[in-house]
A and B are shown apart, each in its own frame.
Chain A
């Protein structure tokens, strides 16, 4: 009824341009980068475009800090977008992931092949989509954000124009992603049909009202379909099958971006949709999602054991991590949201560190991202190996790393939310994961050293035209810097997690309806 009334007297929504500014920066920046990329000078395309992109992201970060405010949600476009600590917090993750991706793409061939302007412009477009998704306040903007983040990614996956697997990855992602989008759209439509509201607040109110039964079949079907659509994006089993293939085929900087940013976006909207909008029917979807989480943990960890390709292994591991993260959403409490937010941040650090090392190795080793190119890395370049080791230990959940605190937090949230068995599932998953994480460490540090490493590159070769196989690992200082910085941050937040806890607390304060 109220929606009808609102529709009758059409009124321009109130827009808060200050809080909308990061999206403006991203969209505008995307266009500028695209235009500048059209210039013919190779220097401009090779150096100016990435720098411009980085400036755009830094501007967005600055604007986000400017409007940062914990607490209640602030509508910026009434009924469509809203800003709160949750959306701003995950936006920061997107921006950081974007910056990292720029650094990792500097010497990548795919950026060259795709034309730098298009490449970076698409990256910014995808980030803008994520921000819209995180700020979505209605089912409509949710879907727009979802598509805006996905479509550039489909293209980005295929930017290795001369590699079959990259094209295959792009196509596969497009097909699977479209199925996911369609399912999500169907689900959203059913939720709208059941509740009669597009806005999350309206859905919440409808659920609180007496007219709608929480176990209404229409609503439950809608929830199930929407969950399925989002599960595709978050690579939650059994909708994860695309993950290893796409992660392996996509250019590694893009894989890094997908692994950390897309996951953060998917979980931001999972939290928003389930814990906030549908929070009142948690008793209905909670057990189902909990089972999904447990299945994901087991499937991801078991799937990773057999992998020799590091990118595939990290893909399976990201499936497993999605299961851990889902546990925080399932419990539907403030503590759960905090734990998920905390883990997302740590997850970004440790995965970026791992992927950066993979990039550094696959560029100089003839074995690509196979385990063999990591043999005796501890002797060849101890800094890279050290960063990788920390990333692996953190992913496995060893103490003194951020991963340990994150898992501790998630288990704490599960137990406190009466899902003790899910906490145990996380633990069992971690035990299984030791098999493949420790294998990487063993290969790097404990190989037989009589074997001459086939890939020890000469020390002083100037990189030719951006990148050449002869170039030493030292010729990629930015990759090394990203890996070491992220590994150091992983350790830092494992010992001093309080700053991240403060952010996580802010984030959870965005959802005051939870207990």
Chain B
């Protein structure tokens, strides 16, 4: 029992609250200090983490005993790197936002900090109800961040975003309560503790619809075809630092929920829908890739590429093979790590093109901005899973996992790898090379964005060189997450 996780969890919120009462000009520094402190803490945790040691830094207290909700946090291989991703992404994006001219800074940085607390909470929660509390809480700050500081038709976009995602997560809440109640034996105490739920059994028939509602919430969040209706509007309207977090980190919370909750607690239900989810994943890969290839707006290229990447991750999870799950987890981290700098670079490009984000009007920016082009190239190559990048390892593992039992789907999905190369190279060429666009000023990347992007790129390169750092630490927990879905194991039970 330690309070380390509580400190990490509530540090950003505390910083945000302090910033909200400080004078206007100081709010940003409070927010930044909070994000950096979390990052420092998480780096120490990464070093301190004991591979294969199960749940660590566990905090487990009564919260609402009447409803069986416990304040229960813990870190293991499944969430360690997602927490690290959250910390580094928030540090980078808060840095960029802190140096931008932000209207109503106290409110902005408070929301940004609240969002970090909520995301960290969702990743750390070891209690289903607590997970849902944080999962839904995330929406509040993002609702404000998109609607208050976005561009274009931001109010419509943010309303659409919240209604889409909350429809999913409220249904998930109902399903989770049903899960808790059904799993409780007559006269037993209601409990939402994940460890406890794994011990209790839920009738298989009920698992089916419960898993379906969970998947609905997670797929909307991811997003996956056909639940991605909110994506284009939201991506267009959101400001860059917020969008980087939305796309890079938030999308992972849903798919993480499969590994943490659905597969261990409801293996039968997960198996029941395996085929459907794999089909959806493969379809998302193709659909996202093809749409990404045909977009003119550079944000939307990345938006649809995210759908494709998330499709890969879901495919890896539902292959129910150790390699696939490992690849999926690695890919969650990789996708977050490349998406954040990509969006920050999109922001840099837009500034140099007088706000234009259209591929038709961009081009030739590499001419006087070699560093910008170089950073972009590295992240773009990592995104298209160039051998030598962490994404390559992730996608290969996912495909290997899929080939074992679902050869056909694996083969179709591999087409996605090729398509990724097409749209990413098109994106890179369209902005950096070719004729200089009409409104483009080729200027080098500014220092703030440089300071935010370089560490991320360094991590990408490091992971490409030494992916075992992640694989080694996650191995045991990923195989445990899918242990109950294995047919052989089910037979033995």
Where the two chains meet, the residues of A that have a C-beta atom closer than 8 Å to any C-beta of B are: 338, 378-379, 393, 397-400, 404-405, 408-409, 411-412, 415-416, 420, 423-424, 426-427, 430-431, 434-435, 438-439, 441-442, 445-446, 497-498, 501, 505
Known: A398-B140, A497-B66, A498-B66. 10 other contacts (CB 8 A): A405-B67, A408-B129, A411-B177, A420-B174, A423-B174, A423-B177, A427-B174, A430-B170, A446-B158, A501-B66
| Contact of B178 with A431 in the complex, beta carbons under 8 Å | no
| Contact of A498 with B167 in the complex, beta carbons under 8 Å | no
Q: Which B residue sits closest to A445, measured CB to CB?
A: B148
| Contact of A412 with B181 in the complex, beta carbons under 8 Å | yes
Q: 1/0 per position for B241-284, CB-CB distance to A under 8 A?
A: 00000000000000000000000000000000000000000000
Given contacts A446-B147, A446-B155, contact A412 B177 (CB under 8 A): yes
Cα separation A226 to B135 with both chains bound (whole Å): 42
B291 at the interface (CB under 8 A from A): no
| Contact of A399 with B166 in the complex, beta carbons under 8 Å | no
B57 at the interface (CB under 8 A from A): no
| Contact of B64 with A405 in the complex, beta carbons under 8 Å | yes
| Interfacial chain A residues near B162, Cβ < 8 Å | 434, 438
- When the two chains form the complex, which single residue of B65, B66, B144, B166 contacts A445, counting CB atoms closer than 8 Å? B144
| Interfacial chain B residues near A501, Cβ < 8 Å | 64, 66
| Interfacial chain A residues near B190, Cβ < 8 Å | 412
Closest 8 CB pairs of A and B: A446-B147, A399-B133, A501-B66, A427-B170, A427-B174, A431-B167, A399-B137, A399-B136
| Contact of B155 with A442 in the complex, beta carbons under 8 Å | yes
| Contact of B64 with A498 in the complex, beta carbons under 8 Å | yes
Cα separation A380 to B177 with both chains bound (whole Å): 41
Given contacts A399-B134, A412-B190, A431-B170, contact A438 B140 (CB under 8 A): no
| Interfacial chain A residues near B422, Cβ < 8 Å | none
| Contact of A438 with B143 in the complex, beta carbons under 8 Å | yes
| Interfacial chain A residues near B181, Cβ < 8 Å | 412, 415-416
> Per DSSP, are chain B's interface residues mostly helix, strand or loop, or mixed?
helix
Cα separation A498 to B129 with both chains bound (whole Å): 16
| Interfacial chain A residues near B167, Cβ < 8 Å | 431
| Interfacial chain A residues near B129, Cβ < 8 Å | 408
- When the two chains form the complex, which single residue of B132, B163, B178, B180 contacts A399, counting CB atoms closer than 8 Å? B132
Give min CB distance, A497 to chain B, whole Å. 6
Cα separation A22 to B203 with both chains bound (whole Å): 51
Cα separation A498 to B181 with both chains bound (whole Å): 20
Cα separation A430 to B129 with both chains bound (whole Å): 18
Give min CB distance, B160 to chain A, whole Å. 10
Cα separation A434 to B277 with both chains bound (whole Å): 29
B299 at the interface (CB under 8 A from A): no
| Contact of B170 with A442 in the complex, beta carbons under 8 Å | no
Where the two chains meet, the residues of B that have a C-beta atom closer than 8 Å to any C-beta of A are: 64-67, 104, 107, 129, 132-134, 136-137, 139-140, 143-144, 147-148, 154-155, 158-159, 162-163, 166-167, 170-171, 173-174, 177-178, 180-181, 190
Give min CB distance, B145 to chain A, whole Å. 11
Cα separation A445 to B144 with both chains bound (whole Å): 8
- When the two chains form the complex, which single residue of B66, B136, B159 contacts A438, counting CB atoms closer than 8 Å? B159
| Interfacial chain A residues near B143, Cβ < 8 Å | 438, 441
Cα separation A404 to B163 with both chains bound (whole Å): 16
Q: Which B residue sits closest to A494, measured CB to CB?
A: B133
| Contact of A431 with B163 in the complex, beta carbons under 8 Å | yes
- When the two chains form the complex, which single residue of B66, B137, B147, B159 contacts A398, counting CB atoms closer than 8 Å? B137
Cα separation A439 to B163 with both chains bound (whole Å): 12
Give min CB distance, A511 to chain B, whole Å. 17
Cα separation A416 to B188 with both chains bound (whole Å): 12
Give min CB distance, B207 to chain A, whole Å. 14
| Interfacial chain B residues near A423, Cβ < 8 Å | 174, 177-178
| Contact of B159 with A412 in the complex, beta carbons under 8 Å | no
| Contact of B159 with A439 in the complex, beta carbons under 8 Å | yes
| Contact of B136 with A404 in the complex, beta carbons under 8 Å | yes
Given contacts A431-B166, A434-B162, A439-B159, contact A446 B139 (CB under 8 A): no
| Interfacial chain B residues near A445, Cβ < 8 Å | 107, 144, 147-148
Give min CB distance, A275 to chain B, whole Å. 19
Cα separation A400 to B170 with both chains bound (whole Å): 15
Q: Which B residue sits closest to A417, measured CB to CB?
A: B181
Give min CB distance, A347 to chain B, whole Å. 18
Give min CB distance, B153 to chain A, whole Å. 11
| Interfacial chain B residues near A505, Cβ < 8 Å | 66
Give min CB distance, B67 to chain A, whole Å. 6
| Interfacial chain B residues near A398, Cβ < 8 Å | 136-137, 139-140
| Contact of B173 with A409 in the complex, beta carbons under 8 Å | no
Give min CB distance, A323 to chain B, whole Å. 15
Cα separation A411 to B179 with both chains bound (whole Å): 12
| Contact of B178 with A420 in the complex, beta carbons under 8 Å | yes
Which of A400, A426, A427 has most chain B Cβ within 10 Å? A427
Given contacts A442-B147, A445-B144, A446-B154, contact A434 B174 (CB under 8 A): no
Cα separation A379 to B134 with both chains bound (whole Å): 28
| Contact of B174 with A411 in the complex, beta carbons under 8 Å | yes
| Contact of B67 with A446 in the complex, beta carbons under 8 Å | no
| Contact of A434 with B155 in the complex, beta carbons under 8 Å | no
Cα separation A412 to B192 with both chains bound (whole Å): 12
| Contact of A412 with B67 in the complex, beta carbons under 8 Å | yes
Cα separation A50 to B159 with both chains bound (whole Å): 43
Cα separation A431 to B147 with both chains bound (whole Å): 19
Cα separation A379 to B106 with both chains bound (whole Å): 12
- When the two chains form the complex, which single residue of B67, B133, B147, B180 contacts A409, counting CB atoms closer than 8 Å? B67
| Interfacial chain B residues near A408, Cβ < 8 Å | 67, 129, 173, 177
| Interfacial chain B residues near A430, Cβ < 8 Å | 166, 170
Give min CB distance, A509 to chain B, whole Å. 14
| Contact of B159 with A442 in the complex, beta carbons under 8 Å | yes
Give min CB distance, A168 to chain B, whole Å. 34
Give min CB distance, A374 to chain B, whole Å. 14
Give min CB distance, B445 to chain A, whole Å. 31
Q: Which B residue sits closest to A438, measured CB to CB?
A: B159
Q: Which B residue sits closest to A446, measured CB to CB?
A: B147
Cα separation A398 to B141 with both chains bound (whole Å): 11
Give min CB distance, A6 to chain B, whole Å. 41
Cα separation A344 to B112 with both chains bound (whole Å): 33
| Interfacial chain B residues near A498, Cβ < 8 Å | 64-66
| Interfacial chain B residues near A409, Cβ < 8 Å | 66-67
| Contact of A427 with B67 in the complex, beta carbons under 8 Å | no
- When the two chains form the complex, which single residue of A427, A434, A442 contacts B163, counting CB atoms closer than 8 Å? A434
Give min CB distance, B135 to chain A, whole Å. 8
| Contact of A393 with B67 in the complex, beta carbons under 8 Å | no
Give min CB distance, A411 to chain B, whole Å. 5
Q: Which B residue sits closest to A423, measured CB to CB?
A: B174
Cα separation A393 to B190 with both chains bound (whole Å): 27
| Contact of A411 with B155 in the complex, beta carbons under 8 Å | no
| Contact of B174 with A393 in the complex, beta carbons under 8 Å | no
| Contact of A404 with B133 in the complex, beta carbons under 8 Å | yes
| Interfacial chain A residues near B134, Cβ < 8 Å | 399
| Interfacial chain B residues near A427, Cβ < 8 Å | 170-171, 173-174
| Interfacial chain B residues near A379, Cβ < 8 Å | 104
Cα separation A420 to B171 with both chains bound (whole Å): 12
Q: Which B residue sits closest to A424, measured CB to CB?
A: B174
Q: Which B residue sits closest to A418, measured CB to CB?
A: B181
Cα separation A438 to B139 with both chains bound (whole Å): 12
Give min CB distance, A440 to chain B, whole Å. 12
Give min CB distance, B109 to chain A, whole Å. 15
Cα separation A230 to B68 with both chains bound (whole Å): 34
Cα separation A403 to B162 with both chains bound (whole Å): 17
Cα separation A445 to B110 with both chains bound (whole Å): 14
| Contact of B170 with A397 in the complex, beta carbons under 8 Å | yes
Give min CB distance, A334 to chain B, whole Å. 12
| Contact of A411 with B163 in the complex, beta carbons under 8 Å | no
Q: Which A residue sits closest to B133, measured CB to CB?
A: A399
Cα separation A338 to B163 with both chains bound (whole Å): 29
| Contact of A415 with B66 in the complex, beta carbons under 8 Å | no
Cα separation A403 to B178 with both chains bound (whole Å): 19
Cα separation A416 to B183 with both chains bound (whole Å): 11
Cα separation A275 to B308 with both chains bound (whole Å): 53
| Interfacial chain B residues near A420, Cβ < 8 Å | 174, 178
